[in-house]
Structure 1
Amino acid sequence: MTEVKNERIKRAYQLAKEQYGEIGVDTDAAINELNEISISMHCWQGDDVAGFEDNTELSGGIQATGNYPGRARNPEELMADIDKALSLIPGIHRINLHANYAIFKDGAKVDRNKLEPKHFKKWVEFAKERGLGLDFNPTFFSHPKAADATLSSEDEEIRKFWIEHGQACLRISEYFATELGKNCTMNIWIPDGFKDVPADRLAPRARLKDSLDQILAVDYDKSKVDVAVESKVFGIGVESYTVGSHEFYMNYAAKNDLLCLLDNGHYHPTESVADKISSMLLFSDKVALHVTRPVRWDSDHVVLFDDETKEIAKEIIVNGSEKVILALDFFDASINRISAWVVGMRNMQKALLSALLLPKDKLAQLQNSRQLSELMMLQEELKLYPVGAVWNYFCEINDVPAKEDWFEEIREYEQEVLIKRD
């Protein structure tokens, strides 16, 4: 039966290849380019952002809703779940870690401002064995010292603690890059803000700017570590004012030659992150992205193969995928967590493939010559071209299950592993 399916996939691909070839699209080239695009898969989907600090309370305007069985409870379980997810996702990718996933030997825990590379040695070993890269995030939430504010805090001792945490994370990021021979993106996001209208908007941002300046004063190898700063329009409990706004970080990144990270859940519902990418790349060599699915607000739903994701992917491909550092960011505790990873990652790849299969030069020529009726027609007709046949073949040559066949492995893993954890 498997051989019959494989032959069917190959035949369908040959027909799709011919159809795309008629409009000047090389499907083999599209597949080869997709194979080179690495996506950073976030570790926190596997355990509802809990980490390994024995801190069960999630704070900072973040919520993981649901209680599906099988949450990873320790490093071994989380790594096993990541392995299972990656076995069902084509290509070679990266793992995105938060600082609260430090692994302490023999219970010798330290606070976040004292973290060292040795606390992430097991993650480096894990990545090295699998040929993966590692990205990193300081964790400025779910901590007693993050109750009110972090890098913008009025309390100088609190602010000093979080500055030291950021500096420690820079050293860890450089350690990742050196050990793995792959650049590490270190992304800074803080939850600081006010629930109601503030009296002074400038002072918190001035403190944040000073804190970032102190973090970046650490001597680190800029050729190995790409520092990004991430904005947010609002969060739970900080609805009226966010210190790290888009305008703040966009200007700070431009002035300090950093990456400005765009998370498509962190803007007003009518804003399009896809539309921002080309503008950012006119003034920056690279841009960083977190792709998620906001439902009415920054709710971090699993990425779907929907219009927004496809539009983001199109902009990535048109502007050059090598210029975009791509990661996903969602966490859903109401469904099988490994399935959520696989669905999100595969959908992001499907969106990228869909963009790679567009006759970009033809579409651009129609726009530039103002043949807008034909442009609209062709864009609509292309939606029914057989991208699915190309995707199934892409999975086939990467030795991962095509179509919905992968879900049977999720069922088996859930019965054999996940439900025994609770």
Structure 2
Amino acid sequence: MNEGHPHLVIVGGGFAGLWATRALADAPVRITLVDRHNYHLFQPLLYQVATAGLSAPDIAAPLRHILRHQRNVEVWLGEVVALDPDARQVRLGDGATLDYDHLVLASGATHAYFGHDQWARHAPGLKTLDDAVYLRRKLLMAFERAEAETDPEASAAWLSFAIVGAGPTGVELAGTLAEIARHTLRNEFRHIDPRLARVRLVEAGPRVLASFPPDLTESAQRQLERLGVEVVTGTPVTHIDGTGFQLGGEWIPARTVVWAAGVAASPLGALLGVPCDRAGRVVVEPDLSVPGHPEIFVGGDLAAVKRENGAPVPGVAPAAKQMGKHIAASIRARLRGEATTPFHYQDLGNLATIGRMAAIVHFGKLKLSGVVAWWFWLAAHVWFLIGFRNRFVVLVNWAMAYWSYQRAARIIFGEAEEPPDDDVTRLPPRDPS
């Protein structure tokens, strides 16, 4: 790396950070890419890991491998804990500091529980690979615990699942979990019938998948209900603990609740000392730079960006990729002493899968639903996966699941999740006779 070139620090190896890095491959800059993890994650398929359809390496690739041929970049494994925009310094958790000439913050988002952070203990979300592996263990263990119960009511509580939030993640989780209960696990237990599991999808708003047109969301709800999902809209969850949740005036026993209702930006945005929106996203200039600090850019889920019509740019992978490329173009312009241009989001459409052969697609005037939409969704997601191996493995696993209903990654490993001490009923071993 040329030590005489300006130093660019990019925080976050997600879609925005990685696409900015790659777009600067031939630029006269030294790039340091910092991430807490050593991999780039294809987040749209996280739910597949959580529901045992895919394993972690199928949707992730090491950052060092992806960037191995890009000579102007080095990868640092670490967590940013402090920013000093005036001194142009980034401090990591191990005490190391990085001086920069340009800085890109693209550290993504986390869960938001709308002021009820205590619910996180009982209703995990899905944003990282660790979340997905934990959730997979929790979902599969629920069936095991139901099998071991001698009390029918306690067993039914273990077979009661709730997904809170009916955005794409919630819908995908609910549909896939219903398929697992009704098809994948069929005939595998001796004391329970997994098909009796109740999967509820709870949405406080009036409809599922609110970012889609109403006619497509109606189709999506019908497809969910055909899969066996109980869809509840217009009613918020007001309490969650280890035994169930409060839905309106009804208390529903459920030992497994999954949170898919809220998103908050990474806390890094608050360290800049500039205005942020209610979700913690940095309110950026039109070129995605930070007000008062033209050398700092923010992209992905950490940036609050408006479209020309005033609507917010959605927190989806295509938007993050476009932001990353635009930031790279803006840095090139700065290096040449030229003015930057405003970011314009190109809407590439909206897709959501619901279950086997069930999905919806919205692209301009094009609206698809059902089998055709499912094939469209599958092709798009396989195409955007990084690396031939990932695409091949995902295609093979999906083909196997299509013909057999089996899930390829149903191994429970690690410490078995125990409910909180005040919620658990310890049972003697079942008599094998």
Structure 2 length as normaliser, TM-score? 0.28
Q: Which of the two has greater strand per residue?
A: 2
Structure 1 length as normaliser, TM-score? 0.28
